[in-house]
Structures are given as C-alpha cells and as structure tokens.
Amino acid sequence: QQQVKQSPQSLIVQKGGISIINCAYENTAFDYFPWYQQFPGKGPALLIAIRPDVSEKKEGRFTISFNKSAKQFSLHIMDSQPGDSATYFCAAANSGGYQKVTFGTGTKLQVIP
C-alpha cells in the first residue's frame, strides 16, 4: 500500500525557474513531513521538513506548502539552479511511534542552463 503519492516522476526546469513537486498522503496519523534530496551515488539528505500545525515553511530558496484538510503538501524550489538537479523524495512519519519514514516514489529534477 503506497501511503505517500508523489508527482511528477520527472521534471525539467530552466535555470531561474520554479520547480514544484506535489505529494499526497493517506494516513492521518502522520505528523512530520520531511523532504529528502538525493544525488546519484549518494544517500538521501534531509532538505527541509514541516509539521501540520503550520501551512508553510521557507528555508532559503526552498518552501514547503502544506494543506492538512486535503492531505497534500508540496515543495517549491525558487530560482532553480543546475546544482539542484537531483532526485527529490517527499516523506511522512508519525513522531509518536518508532521512526518509520514512508517515502514517495521520487521526482527526478533536471535544471537546464
């Protein structure tokens, strides 16, 4: 059962543009929503995270928007750069239990000059 659905599967954005990745979850017990960035040959690295008590969180060029009623959240990358080219995973976790993190299927982002 896929509990976190992610789209699109791949994304091509021009340098300076906005990259948008969307995710939806089913389990209402989830209360922590991180995004991970993975470069080829590397493990995923935590990029930014949000809890459902806020609707938006911004860190530099990265912003998470969260819609609790729709059970959806999204990552916006402003002023996208070629160095942002990587695979992005949304994820969800229940901080009240053991630390199982459920990942989406990933979005491969390519930022072209």
Of the ranges 27-35, 56-64, 68-76, 78-86, which one interacts with another protein (CB under 8 A)?
Answer: 27-35
Pairing state between β 101-103 and 56-59: unpaired
- As a whole number of angstroms, the distance between CA 37 and CA 8 comes to 15
Which of 20, 101 has the CB closer to another protein? 101
Least distance to another protein, CB of residue 29, Å: 13
Neighbouring residues of 36: CB distance < 8 A, sequence distance ≥ 6: 44, 45, 46, 47, 88, 89, 91, 103
Least distance to another protein, CB of residue 58, Å: 18
SS3 66: strand
- As a whole number of angstroms, the distance between CA 72 and CA 64 comes to 11
Structure tokens at 3: 């509990």
Which of 15, 98 has the CB closer to another protein? 98
Which of 19, 106 has the CB closer to another protein? 106
Return the residues of window 49-108 that contact another protein according to CB under 8 A. 49, 89, 91-93, 95, 97-106
Q: Which residues bind another protein (CB under 8 A)?
A: 4, 6, 32-34, 36, 41-46, 49, 89, 91-93, 95, 97-106
